[in-house]
Amino acid sequence: MPPSPRARFTELSLLVWVAALAVTGFVAVVGAETSAFGPAALIVPAVYLVLVLALHLFLVAQRFHGDQVLMPVAAGLTAIGLVLVQRLASDLLLQQLSWSIISAGAFAATILIPRDLTALSRFKWTWALLGLLLLIAPLFPLIGREINGARIWIKVGPGSIEPWEAVKLLLVVFFAAYLEEYREVLTQTPRRIGPLPVPPVPYLVPIVAMWGVAMLVMIFEKDIGATLLFFGIFLAMLYLATGEAFYALIGVVLLLGGGFVVYHLFGHVQVRVDTWIRPFDEDLRFGAGYQLVQGLYALANGGLLGAGLGNGMPDRIPVVWSDFVFDAFAEEAGLAGAIALLALNLVFVYRGMLIALRAPTTFLQLLAAGLSFIVALQTLVIVGGNARLIPLTGITLPFVAYGGSSLVTNWMLVALLLRVSDVSTRMRGRP
């Protein structure tokens, strides 16, 4: 085959829509803020679009065979995120734009560097150890930081990063490799007590170990979101690898039991649950429940088509740019916009799961499924929290919410999914 570039027309045509979306979004928001249309509104979207186009051309030049839908969808969500940062916290816009440039670099590096994806599975214990170290790093006195009640940050130079974000990628790689290694256990019929299968030791040990780690995170780092997320990812991947719903059920029961005990022992969990159940009570409405109450007002205020970009009052919600972007977007773009946002996430996850189905080896299948599941679960947990369906937790809406660590890891996640799809497309010899 000649080493010519390889056109990616679907991706390019979808990126045209991303460009239109970014430009109109910025014009609307800046227009509402300054009461005039000016070229200043176009600087940030222009820089961002050049960046995205560069990524597209990079993939073309690499003769990359992978999927063409994921990258534009992620770029569209990131564009909406930039519009919302301009709207809600314009002083953070440059910072978020720089983070998207770093994310693009991380994306390109992930596409280039691991020559052989399967090789990732050979270092699985390294990933596990690194993940655990990063997970407990915020607990150490010198580098750890507590922000807004959760001790999940470490100091790096002048800023701070959330190591949990990297941990979720490391854990998915580790689980995929681990579950692949013990898949032979599958072929044996599990011993049964009555109708219930007893998990063989290689499955039972990680269930209990992950449960222990999850409880520690909940108690010491005070982060219910992270707990839910990575225990959820683990159970989903265990179910995918074994096909035994009962194993996942054991995990859920353990989590509920542990959660119940922790709820009664530790104040910070009680506060979260209280503000979820009765945020409008006198003692909470202007205290711990203030943020959630304002978020719910924003949701209600949005109505079907929203107040219009730049026309709502989402700035009444404290820390709206990182915790409550979904409510802010729903207020200004309405139910219609909110559903479109969720549908874009759905496209992403659906595409990711298809990549998993097509992947040639168990490791790659579990890897792709686990990565897509991160995005799905994270969206569910934060949107559910914003809408008061479940207790509010401090995790980010993927790609959209303000936050550097989250944006960088999510773009690395996209690159890994693209790599998996690249392998399967090359292998099937399909254009």
* Contacts to another protein by CB under 8 A: 10, 13-14, 17-18, 20-21, 24-25, 27-28, 31-32, 35-37, 67-69, 72-73, 76, 80, 115-118, 305-306, 308-311, 333-334, 336-337, 340-341, 343-344, 347, 350-351, 354, 358, 360-361, 422-423, 426-430
Residue 46 CA, chain-centre distance (Å), reads 25
Single out the residue of 424, 430, 428, 421 nearest to residue 59, CA to CA. 421
Q: Which is nearer to another protein, 55 or 269 (CB)?
A: 55
199 versus 302: smaller Cβ distance to another protein: 302
Task: Tell which residue, 406, 413, 411, has the closest CA to residue 161.
Answer: 406
State the minimum distance, in angstroms, from the CB of residue 305 to another protein. Answer: 7
- Is 184 or 282 the residue whose CB approaches another protein more closely? 184
The DSSP call for residue 360 is S
25 vs 285: CA distance, rounded Å: 33
If you compute the radius of gyration of the chain from its CA atoms, what whole number of angstroms results? 22
Q: How far is the CB of 25 from another protein (least distance, A)?
A: 5
Question: Please, what is the minimum distance in Å from the beta carbon of residue 116 to another protein?
Answer: 5
Instruction: List the end-to-end C-alpha distance of the chain, in Å, as a whole number.
Output: 13
State the minimum distance, in angstroms, from the CB of residue 281 to another protein.
36
Nearer to another protein, 10 or 126 (CB): 10
Enumerate residues 6+ apart whose C-beta is below 8 A from 198.
Answer: 190, 191, 192
Q: Which is nearer to another protein, 251 or 398 (CB)?
A: 398
Q: For Cα atoms 204, 210, 216, give the angle at the middle one, nearest 5 degrees.
A: 140
What six digits make up the tokens of 145? 């930081």
Taking the C-alpha atoms of residue 78 and residue 254, their distance in angstroms, rounded to an integer, is 36
- AA letter at 351: R
Nearer to another protein, 276 or 350 (CB): 350
Least separation in angstroms between CB 400 and another protein: 13
Sheet holding 159-161, edge to edge: 144-147, 150-156, 159-161
**Separation of alpha carbons 313 and 318, rounded Å:** 12
Q: How far apart are CA 376 and CA 235, in angstroms?
A: 14
Q: Which is nearer to another protein, 167 or 420 (CB)?
A: 420
CB 204 within 8 A of CB 132: no
The nearest distance, CB 37 to another protein, in angstroms, is 7
Of 179, 166, 119, nearest to 419 by C-alpha is 119
Closer residue to another protein, CB minimum distance, 28 or 395: 28
How far is Cα 271 from Cα 406, in angstroms, rounded to an integer? 26
Length of the chain: 431
Nearest distance from C-beta of residue 29 to another protein, angstroms: 9
Tell me the two tokens of residue 151. Answer: 């001790």
Which residues of 306-363 form beta strands (DSSP E)? Answer: none
In whole angstroms, the minimum distance from the beta carbon of 430 to another protein comes to 6
| Nearest distance from C-beta of residue 370 to another protein, angstroms | 19
In the complex with another protein, the residue whose CB is nearer, 20 or 156, is: 20
11 versus 165: smaller Cβ distance to another protein: 11
Shortest reach from residue 177's CB to another protein, in Å: 14
